[in-house]
Amino acid sequence: MRWTGLLVVAMLAMAAVAPAAADDGARPVSGFVMEHGGELRGRVLDLDGAPLRGVKVHVVERAGAERIVRTDSEGQYRATTRSGALVFVEEQARIDGHCAVAAVADGAEAIEVHEIIPAKAGARPRTDPRAIPPYTDEAKTRNDWRKQWLLLDVDSTGTVQHVMELHAPGLGLDAIGIREAFALRFDPARDHADRPMPSLVVWAWEWPAYWWLDAHEVKTLVPDDAYGLVCRGAGPSTKTYRDCPPLDMAKAATQPWIPRPRP
């Protein structure tokens, strides 16, 4: 599957809920994938076509190495890649790339040109993003908070066609989160002509510590007071730490897509 031409929207796990926006910082991500390595040049523009200065452009090669270059006063950037790469900016923007690649069989130089224009509206989940997937017995016994980051390929009907795991929760929860992701339905993204279009959505599942959750009246949604808990590895000792793994978009250049199971 090629990403070229797809909108990449980072709709973090709680994008539709006020506490989540403050907690995880929902933000758009626009970019493209280069099929080959070579000298990459391009521009980053705002939605009105004006150049954006000082914007960080992430260039993630398939081997996993990531470099960040900044745009100049004209919104231009330049980088060299030795293999195909994921190129993206973490904000509302138009980004294009022109990559001169190695000579092809007939001696001619091949040029790739890509441009991503953000959609008028991103895909919106029909499921409450605070929903908690089922637990495994191991997760219940360990009573350990876990979180899973996923990248979803949502088609123009709002159906999840592919899933990529960006962070695995362990405790047997990986497969459950992937299964539940395929069950999600979205109102699809819309282009500037208000037509439905495919998009990529970053999604997160959370499994609160089982016995901590058991003390709450509602056990099917992440409680609001979860966002006030200290993250594991930070702050003073408490009875319950929340799992707060960072979103690592660089993994999107190397992780495999999992196709939708056939009926």
Per-residue pLDDT tens, the chain, 263 aa: give them.
333 334 444 333 222 222 333 344 334 567 777 767 778 888 898 878 899 999 999 888 876 678 889 999 999 999 988 777 778 887 777 888 877 654 444 444 444 444 445 566 678 888 888 999 999 999 999 999 999 999 888 889 999 999 999 999 999 999 999 999 999 999 988 877 788 888 888 899 999 999 999 888 888 999 988 888 888 776 566 677 889 888 887 787 778 889 999 88
- Same CATH topology for 31-115 and 124-259? no
Radius of gyration of the chain (CA): 20
Note the pLDDT of residue 73: 94
Task: Output the pTM of the full model.
Answer: 0.68
Where are the strands (E) in the chain, listed by range? 7-9, 30-33, 38-45, 56-61, 66-70, 76-81, 85-89, 94-103, 109-116, 124-125, 146-154, 160-167, 186-187, 189-190, 196-197, 199-207, 258-259
In the chain, where the domains are located = 31-115, 124-259
Note the pLDDT of residue 117: 53
Question: What fold does the segment set 124-259 form as a domain?
Answer: TolA/TonB C-terminal domain (3.30.2420)
- C-alpha 182 chain-centroid distance: 16
- Give the right CATH number for 31-115 from 2.60.40, 3.60.70, 3.40.1130, 3.30.70: 2.60.40
